[in-house]
Amino acid sequence: MVTWRSITRTFQQHHAPIRAQVRHLSLLEHHSYNLLKEFKLPVPPGFLVTTPEHAKEVVSDINGSSVIKAQILAGGRGKGKFTSDGKSGVRMVNSPSEAFKSATSMLGYHLKTAQTPEDGLRVDKLYVYKAISIAQEFYIAITFDRQRTSPVLLISSSGGTNIESNVENLHQLWFGLFTGITNEIHAYIQAELGFSDTEMKDVHRILVQMVQLFKEKDATLVELNPLVRTDDGEFVCLDAKFAFDDLARYRQKDIFALEERSPEEEEEYQLAELGLSYVRLDGNIGNIVNGAGLAMATNDLISLYGGRCANFLDVGGGATKEALSKALGILKKDQRVEGILINIYGGIVRCDMIAEAIVAAATGMGGFKCPIVVRLQGTNSEKGLKLVEQTGLDNLIVEAEFEKAAQLIVKQTPGVDL
């Protein structure tokens, strides 16, 4: 599960060298509001709801115009559309009955935006807060410029849903984590965005607190969009997005405990906890292999013979009973998987030990309804294949040759047109 805002992504594409993909934690908006409040950043009072009845109750207590926002890990909600009624993921309501009606057509339905998958994302939570009169919207974010090895402040007077079409108007201001927002940066922002002295005091305080949050929480992105100036001249954060360095998980346990994952991301997370690498694909043949090179070769060979892979699952050197049980368990729960190829090369870990782990895992799970082809090569491979073959478990097939094993699983898998 990784959700990066398109603005910072566009910035980093033009300012950063290509790096290996790193998964970052992102928070839902209601968690972000709580984090902003922790650092004394101004936010409207709001409430998380999961039922239409609760939404109605909250708006009744607010006793005024309210905003309802879908809680998903994607931007562009204001311009997005629900599959239920074609309306957006951010709605203004003026009464409890309107809140009930809107929540009914939002909860349990998918919201499609420019940043979601084609089918959209399911919405199970809404955030409700009192509507605020907006005089102007601003965009402010702090992220890293990897090329300069420096944090950078991005700021624009075109905030809200307009920012993505005005990326070229972003002001880019580099700073040091220890120096923070300097007098020069302060003066530049005031001159370019036209803030009065009184307004700039509030903006400066917000920027200082953003930098503090960025440092203390090991963030890779702190984004306020929009930061609004109200008709009364106050500044309030109406939406916030964060991303955090995955390598800081051990330091930021409270924040990472808030992580919400889709079912696909949950599978990846559980396997990563065991030191396994998992990538979900769109086919129906599951793979369990050891080694990234063997994994890619397995996927390629299955594709060559007319099959489509459901995953890339590398157990590495950890082909233990626990790892294989977890891997097989996840593939068993995946309703798309109609056949599995276990392709293991035994080196330090002998093939007979791998075979024992496969048999123990399969037996402990009560067998499989789909065919499983087991291919073992390397140390004690013949002994390992014999152990698997002698189990008598239904749908467990052995094949020592790589190409024949790939052909066999494609042939044995239902729904594959040969």
Residue 30 lies in a domain: no
Average pLDDT over the chain reads 86
139 has catalytic annotation: yes
Q: Verify that 126 and 142 share a domain, yes or no.
A: no
* pLDDT above 90 (res 301): yes
Q: Verify that 243 and 274 share a domain, yes or no.
A: no
**pLDDT, average across residues 49-67:** 96
Residue 340 belongs to what domain range? 266-411
Q: Verify that 286 and 231 share a domain, yes or no.
A: no
The CATH number of whichever domain residue 288 belongs to comes to 3.40.50.261
Q: Verify that 207 and 274 share a domain, yes or no.
A: no
Is the bond preceding residue 226 a cis peptide, omega within 30 degrees?
yes
Mark which of 103, 130, 157 sits at the end of a domain: 130
* pLDDT above 80 (res 176): yes
The CATH number of whichever domain residue 64 belongs to comes to 3.30.1490.20
Residue 36 lies in a domain: no
18 — pLDDT class (breaks 50, 70, 90): very low
373 three-class SS: strand
**Nearest in space to 358 (alpha carbons), one of 333, 322, 314, 331:** 322
Q: Verify that 55 and 87 share a domain, yes or no.
A: yes
Q: Verify that 144 and 109 share a domain, yes or no.
A: no
pLDDT of the residue at 247: 86
- Of 114 and 266, the structure prediction assigns the larger pLDDT to 114
**Nearest in space to 298 (alpha carbons), one of 211, 408, 203, 384:** 408
Residue 343 lies in a domain: yes
- Of 383 and 416, the structure prediction assigns the larger pLDDT to 383
Q: Quick count: other Cβ atoms within 10 Å of Cβ 215?
A: 14
Q: Verify that 123 and 162 share a domain, yes or no.
A: no
Annotated catalytic residue: which of 139, 267, 338, 399? 139
275 — pLDDT class (breaks 50, 70, 90): confident
Mark which of 84, 99, 130 sits at the end of a domain: 130
Locate 198 and state its tokens: 């009184």
Residues 6 or more apart whose CB falls under 8 angstroms from that of 376 comprise 344, 345, 346, 351, 354, 355, 384, 385, 388, 398, 400
Q: Are 49 and 128 in contact (CB under 8 A)?
A: yes
Domains: count for the chain: 3
* pLDDT above 90 (res 6): no
**pLDDT, average across residues 245-270:** 77
Q: Identify the sign of the CA torsion 273, 279, 283, 286.
A: negative
pTM beyond cutoff 0.75: no
CA 411 vs CA 164, 371, 376, 407: distances in Å = 48, 10, 19, 6
Residue 174 lies in a domain: yes
**Nearest in space to 80 (alpha carbons), one of 29, 32, 122:** 122
Residue 28 lies in a domain: no
State the SS3 of 334-362: CCCCCEEEEEEEECCCCHHHHHHHHHHHH
Mark which of 256, 283, 317 sits at the end of a domain: 256
* pLDDT above 60 (res 263): no
pLDDT in tens, 322-346: 777 778 888 888 888 999 999 988 8
Alpha-carbon gap, residue 222 to 213, rounded angstroms: 8
Beta bridge partners of 174: 152
Q: Verify that 180 and 70 share a domain, yes or no.
A: no
* pLDDT above 70 (res 9): no
Locate 288 and state its tokens: 């369990």
Alpha-carbon gap, residue 103 to 47, rounded angstroms: 13
* Direct distance between the N- and C-terminal alpha carbons of the chain, in angstroms, rounded to an integer: 34
Q: Verify that 247 and 338 share a domain, yes or no.
A: no
223 has catalytic annotation: yes
Q: Verify that 291 and 334 share a domain, yes or no.
A: yes
Q: Are 342 and 357 in contact (CB under 8 A)?
A: no
Q: Are 11 and 5 in contact (CB under 8 A)?
A: no
286 — pLDDT class (breaks 50, 70, 90): very high
Residue 261 lies in a domain: no
Q: How far is CA 231 from the centre of its chain?
A: 36
Which stretch, 8-17, 273-282, 335-344, has highest mean pLDDT? Answer: 335-344
Q: Verify that 188 and 203 share a domain, yes or no.
A: yes
Q: Verify that 294 and 355 share a domain, yes or no.
A: yes
Residue 381 lies in a domain: yes
Annotated catalytic residue: which of 29, 98, 223, 268? 223
- Of 415 and 337, the structure prediction assigns the larger pLDDT to 337
